[in-house]
Every structure is written in structure tokens, then in C-alpha cells.
Chain A
Amino acid sequence: MTASAGRILILLALLVSAAGAMAGFAAGRSGSAAGWRVTRGLAYAFAALMAAANGLMVWALLARDFSVSYVAHVGSRSIPDWVAFVSLWSSLEGSILFWGLVMGVYVTVATRANRDRHPEYMPYACAVWLACGTFFSFLLAGPAQPFLTVPNPPPDGPGPNPLLQNHVLMIVHPPFLYLGYVGMTIPFGLASAALLRGRLGQDFLRPLRNWLLLPWIFLTVAIVLGAWWAYEVLGWGGYWAWDPVENASFLPWLTATAALHSALLTERKGVLKGWTVTLVLASFLLTILGTFMTRSGVFNSVHSFTQSAIGPTILGFLALALVWSVWLLATGIDRFSTEGRLEGAASRDGMFLANNLLFVLFTFTVLIGTVFPLVVEATKGVQMSVGRPYFDRMAVPIGVALLLLMGVGPALPWGRATAAQMKAALLPPLAGGLLAAAVGAALGVRQPWTLVALSFGGYTAQVTLRELWRPVARRRALGAALGEAVLDAQVRRGRRRAAAYVVHAGAALAVVAIAVSSTMGTSKELQLREGDTATVGAYTLTFVKAEELREPHRSALVARIHVARGGRDLGVLTPRMNQYESQREPVGTPAVRTSLFEDLYLSVMNIDPGQGTLGLLAMVNPMVAWIWGAAAVMALGGLAALVPSRGVAPAAVRAGAPSPASSRVPAQG
């Protein structure tokens, strides 16, 4: 009964989205206001149907209605209600259903926000969104059906993957990832519309940039939450392994970051329009590639929890979207007008180009390393992977160069600069660089790349702070009080500018923290008996006892380890191994003690309470928590940039923001 209702909702969503896509394309061609109204209605209907289908599934999960195939697959009577709720996105079919909900929300908000604006682009954009909606509805109606009727419902189900219910981060990570991934559909639709029109005006750059920034923020958070989860749960002591599924989330982030920078150059100088939309299209294509990699089980990966037959369908959609993008670019890109020109290489303009080049190189590096094993296996039937040293060797120089660019770029003025100007801009921050490197060296950093990262980080930090301070100083010079000057310079007027520098500060901090944490740690594998003492770094560990615990939905083997540092008692850490009912394999849960500069990381490899033995991985990881903090800074900076600021609005009006009278501009060559 529930299953049938769900199937009907999915089929209706499929019909409505397909009809909406066609109506949108028709309205885009004809310019009919009535057609655009119909398209909007169908878009809202698609969202409502997806919301209803998701609501129904949540209800079935909570009611443990095992006559619904997805509930029979992931539900269980022995799990708490919150686990039942989040198992909506714990497995393949449910996650595609959830994808539909997120898609519906995005399409609704983006359509509603622009219903009276950009009429020359919006019907096309909405048509593209709904075409993507059609594809995901099709997945739900065919290859990944969550609402199949189970003829003889089992009395109980197996419950979701224990790795998912083992940590709270696994509950928040997937929604952020979907918000990032699905969100890339919106700029994809906007860029497609610009290409179909053969026009990308100043007025349309703003929604394009903002709708790119929003999923970028979610994706940033999702990537870091995923890394954090791996660190807190998987128990090998690291947070990033260049695993295919990690790379899948990182690839669209790289191109979206490049696109955000390129869009700024387009906005400012009226150049590189085609390049900007290419990056936007690429970001979307990479999210689909990522979906294929994570959801088709083609990879050996810690994170790909599902193996299914939807791979070929997604691959087909990827091919279709690729052909569509190439066709759009081939027919539309030459029609974009170029309004300005780029100045010489040694200017901020040039640094933007260097930024884009590096991000694209980074993308290709990761893409090639990730896809190469797939190609080899498909063509030769040989299983292999590309080892981590490849990624590290490529990513470290690129990442460090990007770090320096974050300092040099903002230091340089727009357009041409004289030699004296360049010296005045570029030389002072060397002090910050030297200081950071000196502090690092004094604290024992010897690894050359880490020292380079530290000095570049210091350089960038000084430039970033200087650029944040400059508008404040100007107002102070005019007699404003400090608080008033900060408020006016960073919040009321230059919010976008200030926000960008906040994001840069977070990014620089993240790169430095990654460099330090991946080169300055210590690691030991220990085999201990009860009462044994061992040292790792400055910590003294005493294995007190191994004990068995019973909890409502799981049992656990817990190692009680007493920790001391320099004679100071730091209490007891309890890394453990959780054993879930209906799962044969235990799931380790490391214990992490975070202090300001380092984490003590203890992970149980094996434990036997009867014998009183423990195999323990003990690590000291410096600055790892700073990565999480840096990501929060980046996300907050991004959010601040989304809030409209008064200082920018007049510029947009000057550049010809649409008025109702001028809004029916036909396509221009």
C-alpha cells in the first residue's frame, strides 16, 4: 500500500519534470510569459511530489513498514528512531530519493527567486534543471526503485550499514554532500541558458556566481566533514587517502573554485565569459562523474557503501550531459561578447589566470589518477590502483603554489603596475613569510615542503590581513571611530570583498595545517598486555584494562588507557570496537584527545578481554583540528559573501541591472 503510493508519486514526478523541461525549452524559444508560468508551476509540482515521496519514505522507515523494499533493506526494529530516520540516505535507493528532495528544494528556491527576473534566461535554466530532475526520477522509477512492494514482509530487517550509525558525522556528511552535488545543477542550468542565448550579461553574472557559491560552500563543508569522519571512525589515523570517493567530491570543488575566481574576472573586466561557463559546466559534469564513482561500486573504496546496477544508467546520463555541454559550448561560446581586456601577466588579472591554470591542472591530476585504474580494468581486465605517492607528489607543489598565489594575487593591483608599485606591494609580506618559517623551524619543522608551506602561508596571511585592514585604515584617516570604520568597511559596504579575504584566510590556514599534520606526526603500533606502559610522542600510555560493554543496539570491546603527559594526569581514553547486531564485523572507534596544537589518536586494532591483550595504533597528529576550524572559517566567509551588500549594489545598477522595461531583450549575436 505504502509502496504503491510511493511508486505513484515517483511516476508523477517523472511525468511532471519531463513536461516541465519541455515547457521550459518551449517557453525559452518563444519567449512566452504564459509558458514560463506553466514551467514554474511544473517545477513547484516536481518539488512537492519529491517532498511527498520523501515524507512517505521517512514515515515507512519510522513505522518499520517492511512491505516497502527499501525499509526491508535498511530498516530494523532494533535501531533507535534517529537511526531509522537517517537511514533515508544510508543506502543507494534512499539516497537517490533524498537527492530528488534536495533537487526539488533547489529548483523551487532558484525559480522563485528569479520568477520576475532574467526572463530571457530563466525558462531555459529551469528546463535544464527539470531535465536533470527527469533523469533522477527515472532512476527512482527504474534502476533504483525504493518503493518496491515486498510480497511477504519480513518480521525484521538488517538495519543500515554499521559504519553509518557508528558516528554522528556520518549523519550530517551526506546531506551536505548532496546539497553541494545537487546544487551544482543550478549554475549548470544558468550557464546552459546563457549559452543557449549566446549572451552572458553583467546582470546575469550575479545569480550565476551566487548560485555557484552556495553549493561550493556546502561542498567545502561536506568534503571536510567526510575527512573528519574518516579520521574519527576509520581508525587509521589519517583524514585523506586520495581514495576515489574522496576524489569524487574534491574534483567538482576544484573546478567550482576556479569558476568562482574566473567569474570575478568576468564580472570585473567583461572577459573570459566562455571560460567561466566552461568551468561551471565542468563542475556539474564532475558531480555526475562523482555520483557514478560513488554509487556504482566500480571502485574498491571505504566510502562506497553500495554496489548496484545503476552504474550504466548514470554513465549514460554523464555521456548525455557531456555531449550537451560540448554542443552548447560549440554553438554558444563564440556569440559571447567580450567587453574589456586583460592586462599584463604581472597584475592581479594575471594572477587570476594563474589561479585558474593551477586549479585546472589540479583537477586533471586528480581526475587522471582516479580514472586511470578504471580504464585499465575495463580495457585489460587488470586490477590496480594509483598509489598515494602519485597524488601527493602532484598535489603538494600545486597546493603550495596556490597558497602563494593567494598572497601575491591580492597584493598586486588590477591592471598594469609600475615596478615601484609592485615592490611596495610584494616585498613587505616577506616579513610574514620569514616569521612563519622561523617559528616553524624553532618548533622543529625540518621537512622542506612544510617550511615552504609555512612561509607562503605567512606571506599570504600578512597580505590578507593588510587587505582587510586597508579600507578600515582609510576610514580611520577620515576620522571614523574604529568600530564604525570596521562596520562600514567590512559589513555594510565591502562585505563581498571582506568575505573573500576571510575565505582566503581559512584556505591558507587549511593548507598550512594539512602540511604540518601530514609531515610532523608520530605513529606507533603497539602490542600491549594489561598493565603495560608505552610512550608515543610526549604521552605515556598505560593499558589499564580491556572490558566488554553491552548497549541497547550493540556491544563493545573497550580498552581503558590511562594517559599522562610530562607527569600530568590526562585521564582515561577508551578506544573501542563496536559490534552491531546482525553484523559479523566489528567497527573500530578510535579515541581522539584534541588539544590546541595536537591530537592524541588511539585506535584499537585487536583486543581480547579474556587474554587481556591489545593491539593499538597510537599517533600524535599536530594541527588536525585546525583543518576543521579552517573549513568553518571558509564556509562562514562564503555565507557572508552571499548576503547582498550596499556597497556593491550601485555598481550593478550602473552596469545595467534589468528593469521591467528592458527585460525582454532578444538574443544578441
Chain B
Amino acid sequence: MRRGRGFAVAALAAAAAAFLAITAGGIGQNLVYYWGPTELHAAGDKAVGASIRLGGLVAENSIVRAPGSSAVEFDVVDRPGGRVHVKCTGVPPQLFRERIGVVVEGTMSRAGHFEGRRLMVSHSNEYRVPGEGEAVDVKKTMRTTQGLDDGPQPKGQ
């Protein structure tokens, strides 16, 4: 039994090492970043193609709905100057409107706008576009957003 245990320990150690390598690789490739527009711009090219949850407020007078489809375009802001244009294909939720906190799942495009796949609305009670020297608490927006799971995944492909 002693010998058996030694063998088992060695096998376990080898398996653990291989497993950790796979896990680390898997995590590294599948990180989802939680960013506001400011951090998004700061990330530069790193943001292009990465999985991002963009948090912030919907800017005033920026919503453009495409007639007859669910597509919608708008700007997300987190502080004066921190602004990014979002093109979203997912159906917007009921409460979606100007000056509401949103989280958009998607990625940054080469063209400089954010490609949103899914749009969620925050449940925070304060909706105020930030003035000079102010900023939206992006972390809080993330925390108060309902539906922060990873679905829906595109199916049937």
C-alpha cells in the first residue's frame, strides 16, 4: 500500500501540474473586463476583440433606433470626455432610455465604436450625467445591474 500511495501521489502531482497549465491558459483567454469608457480608451488596442462589459450612463439625445429592427445606437459616458459610441444588436430592455445606467456586453471595433451584443440596465437610483470633475461609479453600475450572467449565448450554430 505504501508503494501504491507513492505512485498515486506522483500521478496526482503530474495531473495537477498539467491541469494547472490548462486552467491558467483557459482563464487567460477568457477574461471579461469590466470597464467604463475612460478605461476602455486607456486600454487602446488591447480592447479590440477582447470580451468587455462596458458600464456607464446613456448620454442625453444620443439614442438612435433603427426602424423595424431591434438595433440601437447610443453613447455611453462615465465622466466628461469619457464617451464611447455603442452599436447594439440585442433587443434593448424595457427600462432602456437616456441617462440610465447600462452595462453593454461586447467588444471594441477597429472603427472606434463599441459593438454591443447584449444590453442590460442598472438598478441604481441615481441617474445624473456627470458634470465637470465628476465621474460615474462604474463599479457600482456593474453591481446594480440585473441579469449579469453570461447568457444568452447564441444558439444553434
Contacts and interface: CB of A to CB of B under 8 A. Distances in A.
Interface of A: 230, 234, 236-238, 241-243, 271, 297, 300-302, 307, 338, 341-342, 353, 357, 361, 364-365, 368-369, 372, 382-390, 393-394, 518-523, 525-527, 577, 584-586, 588, 604-607, 615-617, 619
Interface string B118-151: 0001010100000000000001001101111111
Q: Which 5 A-B pairs have the closest CB atoms?
A: A241-B149, A383-B34, A390-B30, A615-B91, A388-B150
Contacts of B111: none
A238 B68 contact: no
Given A338-B1, A585-B146, A388 B153 contact: yes
B10 interface: no
Contacts of A234: 147, 149
Contacts of A372: 27
Interface of B: 1, 4, 8, 12, 15, 19, 22-23, 26-27, 29-34, 51, 53, 68-70, 89-96, 121, 123, 125, 139, 142-143, 145-156
B23 A394 contact: yes
Contact of A300 (B4, B23, B96, B145): B145
A607 B94 contact: yes
A495 B42 CA distance: 64
A527 B66 CA distance: 11
B155 A521 contact: yes
A236 B95 CA distance: 16
A390 B27 contact: yes
B4 A342 contact: yes
A297 B147 CA distance: 15
Contact of A386 (B31, B125, B145): B31
A378 to B, nearest CB: 14
Given A236-B151, A387-B150, A606-B93, A522 B156 contact: yes
B149 A302 contact: yes
Main secondary structure of the interface of B (DSSP, over half): loop
Nearest to B125: A584
A527 B88 CA distance: 14
Contacts of A604: 94
A400 to B, nearest CB: 16
B70 to A, nearest CB: 4
Nearest to A307: B143
Contacts of A301: 148-149
B79 to A, nearest CB: 17
A357 B15 contact: yes
20 contacts: A234-B149, A241-B149, A297-B143, A302-B146, A302-B149, A338-B1, A369-B27, A383-B142, A388-B153, A390-B27, A519-B155, A521-B155, A522-B156, A526-B70, A584-B123, A585-B123, A604-B94, A606-B96, A615-B92, A619-B155
B30 A243 contact: no
A276 to B, nearest CB: 14
A338 B155 CA distance: 51
Contact of A236 (B4, B8, B147): B147
